[in-house]
Structure 1
């Protein structure tokens, strides 16, 4: 019903009359139906009334005397004819159905009552609205974008709640691309005589996301040097600890065991510092325990235990 209403409006706008006959331009969407009316209240007396296309095919023939309706074989499943108003409805229109359709009354003379020029076109595709760049400048958000559809393209920018420029572009095939902006939205509208589709971008949301991104980048840039400094300090402290550990493992001084020291003092009478041992070379993993391999013990100032020579009576 809504489609038929729009078609009636188009008929009123696009009709031009020349005497009794008129040619009317009608545009219909692919797959939809179109209704063709006689467009006159009074018809002359006729024997037959027919609708035919520009291929000379008689789609329907109505005989007034017998009230008989005959349909063309290729239109039987997609045609409705009203034998009271004599209007013709064509269903499931395809692009190959585009052309002229004429109502003709035959009697004492033949008269073309009305002619329709029917154009079958596809519904429009949804436009593509692409943001090329956006940034914040002071308190204002600037967005550069492109609106594109059906070989049509508009490039514009948004700032201070308006688009510059707001444009409308139309092709000869009646495909129109319109760009306009509101306070919060960019709208790209693609239309033709049978359909329209649009794409929107929420400016408020886009600019808010830009602000969040910029804040994150600034925070990240400030955080990077701090992280590098902390890593450098950790690496320095680790290297220093490794160096000290290596020094401590290379040379260690210990007192000899108490048992050995006591024996040495009894035999030599020397109670000076006793024994020192150091790690020799880098420890290499072997089957014997590391503790046995890493150290060498030595006893310092230990003399052989000898008894003094006996004094004979002859020496005395």
Structure 2
């Protein structure tokens, strides 16, 4: 068993592992195949054995499959796991059709999540994003009522603006902000990250490798059936330009005896004590390498080179992370 360092969510929030396990890819996403459930459950349990207790899911991942999978995996060891659940996204036949953030809907969503997970209380509950269809104050107020009822312990938010974050925190203390953050996606450094720091809100950072761009394994052009062809970042001259930037990451990784993916995760971790890399995994084989990434240190020169090469705007084109 390996002890993982911990971070605190919010000023007076809970201590959780400094590396989070994203469970999304353990279910069918966008109509794709469902990974081997036995391997996914083994991955969750081994992560817990290693001290990674932050498990992230959404009630819409695999139409509830993800929550049921986690529920089966943590049966008998509920106290070892910190469960983070997103709600509000509506899918039909595998296609996104919008958000439903109405109070009555939220009260409905929570009960289904608790049943699928097989637990009495969700540790961190958060709207998956906000579209101004319902006032921020009303959404957070509804979740705050669920805290009073004992169905939720802490409130989080995801994919929102600095203004929305401030409004949410004014209603009820927000423990964590889940947002895409990587060397290639640094937009949050302008307003959102400073706002979170000022309010003492922890950042749960997903997409650390920017849809695979920072793994060092991508080549141009992508295959015709690659879903990333839909994003301008991975198209034509943009991809060629962006892969030239990744060359520095590959060189540095080689010099440090690690992988570009590990460096990408390590860079996110190094951006602050209250930042947790959230890494999607569905295989046990990935756990040791991702844990090792959280222990990588950078020299001042190395960090400067990375921050210069991957300065805001250095990566051309966008993905769904673009705000």
Q: TM class, shorter-chain normalised?
A: under 0.3
Question: Bigger radius of gyration, 1 or 2?
Answer: 1
Q: TM-score, normalised by structure 2?
A: 0.21
Higher RCO structure, 1 or 2 (CA under 8 Å, sep 6+): 2
Give the structure with the higher percent strand.
1
Q: TM-score, normalised by structure 1?
A: 0.22
Give the structure with the higher percent helix.
2
